[in-house]
Structure 1
Amino acid sequence: MRAALEAAERGWHVFPLRPGSKRPALHGEQACTRTGPCVDGHLKWEQRATTDPDRIRAAWSRAPFNVGIATGPSGLLVVDLDVPKDKGSSDAPGGAATFAALCERAGHAVPTTHRTRTASGGEHLYFTAPTGVRLTNTAGTIGELVDTRAWGGYVVAAGSITPAGTYEPLCGPETAPLPPWLQTILQPTLKAPQTPATALTAQSCQYADVALASESRNVATAQPGARESTLFRAARALGRFVAWGDLPRHVVEQALQEAGEAAGLSASECRSTLRSALNWSITHNQAGRRTA
């Protein structure tokens, strides 16, 4: 009950899960008597989830229910970083490692936000969903063992207990907004059917395009005294995408050249900085890939 009330205080809509389980404790449609809350039609767990403390106390006083958080009504997008199912495969990357690599490839650090440890040893990263966008659940869209929960989904709240272990909070209470680069990947778009290999290539290019736009913006808005160092860091960050084949070198050079000149650097200063930074980054990342 305490865990449910704490989640509700944050504005998160909760509903009971069966004691010791991750399954909803509410009746299904076939067993619905069309009475009480369902008098006008069967209400599923997403519709029954609430932040009303009186309803929560009444429900959790009946049994030691676990706590489900309906992510959609709560305005949340939760990234679920799972662990490999085969415990004997110690070299298999988990969801956390995959997500960290994707963040690096997008040119960003792993976001700092509210997170919990799952009973299996994975992690849930909580983000505030963008307004005006109805994101839904995904499975493997971002990467292997990286799923998301939004409308139509729920997560088990910290404080819940299962036979595999307890769901525990890992860091502070602040929930960060969903990063724009991640929203770009999750945003529903109409696409032509793709083979898995084509889809992977398209996703890599999408990361690269987001990174190129972000770094160019950073360079163009850099303040005097930090313009050349900002350009240098941007070129090193984007050089990895050139090394990986996700961006042509001339595209990166042109975008950063224009951004550097817009910030007030001379054309020759931009060319010199770009040449050295890109050469280093491309060589370094190609060597790292061959070693890997």
Structure 2
Amino acid sequence: MTHDPRPALLSAALDAAARGWHVFPLRPGTKRPALHGETTCPRTGPCTVGHLKWERRATTDPVLIRATWTHAPYNIGIATGPSGLVVVDLDMPKDNSSADTPCGVTTFTALCERTGHAVPDTYRTRTASGGRHLYFTAPDGIRLANTAGTIAPLVDTRAWGGYVVAAGSTTPTGPYEPVGAPVAAPLPSWLLSILRPSSKAVQVRSAAVAAQSRRYADTALVLEVRNVAGAQQGRRDATLFRAARALGRFIAWGDLPRHRVEQALQEAGEAAGLPPSQCRSTLRSALDWSIAHNQQRRDAA
């Protein structure tokens, strides 16, 4: 007798909707939306007045959900924006990545430790690939978009314009399973500060002031590179992290190009004895954080 997965998928879809999360069907066994596209839109039903994409058709209506998931064994998509969610996607390295490339869970945990924050305790799922989805409730009055690598390498986010595969869904590589806390916690303020779009103030500086700022930045780069290259064992990663945090502000202010800072600190870290992959991970997370937190120019003292 063939097992019918539809009851379990329907139950998972209804459970998500009961949490206030807007769901829509994904093709059976996949992560792709099952709803029709704009070119094949029949302009009937919910699309009578115009084509509605999956984000606008996602629903919490149990009647519509039952009608959909009794029809076929659809996987479950959660439209994060309408659901009031920000989901942090801790991904796994791709097949063509270096063997020593850290996964998103490792990178995110290291970032939390370096910035003095605990790994947030919130509702999460284990993804089919072995990664994690961390669910957070979005702050009121702030419309966040999707990001890719803004927080750290292999750490993406899904908000407005994005969706995640819900627990209870299954793909050929495995199931999506709930783990951790039973409810989604509010998005931590330190994560919001990284993700929130910054309104960059227009600052008019004279050519002389701009040149002085660049000279100061160049001097800071030389000093930080020297500190990293000469760091003692046991302090190398921390020294590299602090250097990147210190220099990130000059990238944000336009005094130093990011590629120059990354290359110089990467070479200094490797010269001190750090593995190349560790240098890259530390630099990206520290620079991303510093740039996000230094959009407004301050005195470089």
The TM-score range, normalised by the shorter chain, is: 0.5 to 0.7
Are 1:162 and 2:171 counterparts? yes
Taking a change above 3 Å as real, the CA distance of residues 179 and 290 of structure 1, as seen in their structure-2 partners, is: farther
Aligned amino acid, residue 63 of structure 1: A
Partners of 1:106 and 1:181 within 8 A in 2: no
SS at match of 1:184: helix
Q: 1:173 aligns with which of 159, 166, 182?
A: 182
TM-score, normalized by length of structure 1? 0.66
Hey, what does 2:154 align to over in structure 1?
Answer: 145
Taking a change above 3 Å as real, the CA distance of residues 134 and 82 of structure 1, as seen in their structure-2 partners, is: same
SS at match of 1:103: helix
Q: Report 1:4-83 matches (<5 A).
A: 4-83=13-92
SS at match of 1:78: strand
Taking a change above 3 Å as real, the CA distance of residues 140 and 242 of structure 1, as seen in their structure-2 partners, is: closer
Q: Over residues 74-108 of structure 1, what are the superposed CA-to-partner deviations in whole Å (9 max), with x where a residue is unaligned?
A: 00000000011137844211111111121122210
Q: Provide the rounded CA distance (Å) in 1 between the counterparts of 2:164 and 2:66.
A: 20
Taking a change above 3 Å as real, the CA distance of residues 244 and 3 of structure 1, as seen in their structure-2 partners, is: same
Q: Provide the rounded CA distance (Å) in 2 between the counterparts of 1:92 and 1:170.
A: 24
**Structure 2: gaps of 5 or more residues:** 1-9, 202-216, 218-237, 248-270, 275-301
Runs of 4+ in 1 over 3 A off after TM superposition: 87-90, 240-243, 289-292
Are 1:100 and 2:105 counterparts? no
Hey, what does 1:126 align to over in structure 2?
Answer: 135
Q: Provide the rounded CA distance (Å) in 2 between the counterparts of 1:87 and 1:17.
A: 27
SS at match of 1:99: helix
* Alignment size in residue pairs: 207
Q: Provide the rounded CA distance (Å) in 1 between the counterparts of 2:38 and 2:200.
A: 34
Q: Report 1:102-251 matches (<5 A).
A: 102-190=111-199, 244-245=242-243, 246=245
Hey, what does 1:259 align to over in structure 2?
Answer: none
Q: Provide the rounded CA distance (Å) in 2 between the counterparts of 1:61 and 1:141.
A: 39
Aligned amino acid, residue 9 of structure 1: A
Using the aligned pairs only, state the percent identity: 68
Q: Provide the rounded CA distance (Å) in 1 between the counterparts of 2:95 and 2:82.
A: 34
Partners of 2:149 and 2:155 within 8 A in 1: yes
Hey, what does 1:226 align to over in structure 2?
Answer: none
Q: Provide the rounded CA distance (Å) in 1 between the counterparts of 2:114 and 2:181.
A: 26
CA RMSD between the two structures: 2.4
**Structure 1: gaps of 5 or more residues:** 193-200, 202-239, 249-288
Partners of 1:241 and 1:247 within 8 A in 2: no
Q: Provide the rounded CA distance (Å) in 2 between the counterparts of 1:244 and 1:40.
A: 55
Q: Provide the rounded CA distance (Å) in 1 between the counterparts of 2:184 and 2:103.
A: 23
